[in-house]
Structure 1
Amino acid sequence: MQTSNLSASFIYPLIIAAGILQAWGPPMNGALQKSLVNPWLASLVSFLPIIALLLCLFICIPKPLPTMAGLQSMPWWAPLGGLLGAGAVVAGLMFVNKIGAGAFAGLTISANLLMSVFIDKFGWFGVEVHALSPGRMAGCALMVIGIVLISKF
């Protein structure tokens, strides 16, 4: 499924649903860590269903396969995105029970948003450049204010 063929009216609800489901992950991982005690074992157990699902999907839908040209032109850092995501999972399972799901999500989402506008501004990692407009800066400021309120109250 290529996103260029999907309309915004279809893409945005999917992204919102993914965000809703993403909020479930840290509390679920926090409960996993509480039961398993060891955060590294809990992280491993958390990733096993993902690996199994992706392996099954790849076996069922093996195409398209990468080309040699695609592999040769791939930036060295491209495969490291999952490793960075694993850091977020470990942080979630270790800290969500200490500060609460709302504060944890607010901090991670706000940090994600702030970094993302810089990624957009400078076109890092091959993304299309988007200016750091006053509206975007105001949105970031409101996110920071929101997380302060959520964390404090």
Structure 2
Amino acid sequence: MNAAWAFPFIFVAGMLQAAGAAMGGELNKSLHNPWLATSLSFLLVLFVTAALFVCMPKPLPTVGDFATMPWWAPLGGIVGAVAVFAGFTFIQTLGAGPVNGVTITANILASLAIDHFGLLRMEQHAMNPMRFAGAVLMIAGVALISKF
């Protein structure tokens, strides 16, 4: 993908994620079971992903790719499921703004730590006063959204 499209694509994905959380909250409300709602949602994701894989099956990994893959790399989906479950469970009572705001702010804070320490094989990007100020502003913004 052309780098010029990366930020607009991510922006649209973020907007869709906010809508998806509200949709998931309604799914949970309709099914009366956050585990079932999360499972149904992930089954649909699995179906779409499998269909796209059938349409575009290449490139495929080699045995060497699997051998050098860190043990924790496939766990990203499970980690994402925790956020989905939390959103499905709490969005109806807390609202989309606070739930998505806390989720995104927590994501930013964890991302800053991952960048600063080079965790999970990420390239290091040191914490600096501007990054710190951005984190503080995220926390303040979520506090305001949640309170009002």
Tell me the TM-score range normalised by the shorter chain. over 0.9
Task: State the distance in 1 between where 2:41 and 2:6 align.
Answer: 27
Aligned counterpart, 1:42: 37
Q: Which residue of 2 aligns with 1:28?
A: 23
Give the aligned residue type for 2:80: G
Residue 151 of structure 1 deviates from its aligned partner by 0.5
In 2, distance between residues paired with 1:88 and 1:112?
10
**Residue identity matched to 1:89:** V
* Matching of residues 84-95 of structure 1 within 5 Å: 84-95=79-90
Q: Classify the secondary structure of the residue corresponding to 1:11.
A: helix
Q: Structure 2 matches for 1:1-153, cutoff 5 A? A: 3=1, 6-7=2-3, 9-153=4-148
* Per-residue deviation, residues 49-71 of structure 1 (Å, max 9, x unmatched): 11111111111111111111110
Instruction: Detail structure 1 runs of 4+ shifted over 4 Å in the superposition.
Output: none
Query: Normalising by the residue count of structure 2, what TM-score does the alignment of the two structures yield?
Result: 0.97
- Kindly provide the amino acid, as one letter, of the partner of residue 78 in structure 2: L
The residue identity in structure 1 corresponding to 2:113 is F
Task: Quote how far apart the aligned CAs of 1:95 are.
Answer: 0.3
Segments of structure 1 that go 5 or more residues without pairing to the other structure are none
Root-mean-square deviation (CA), in Å?
0.8
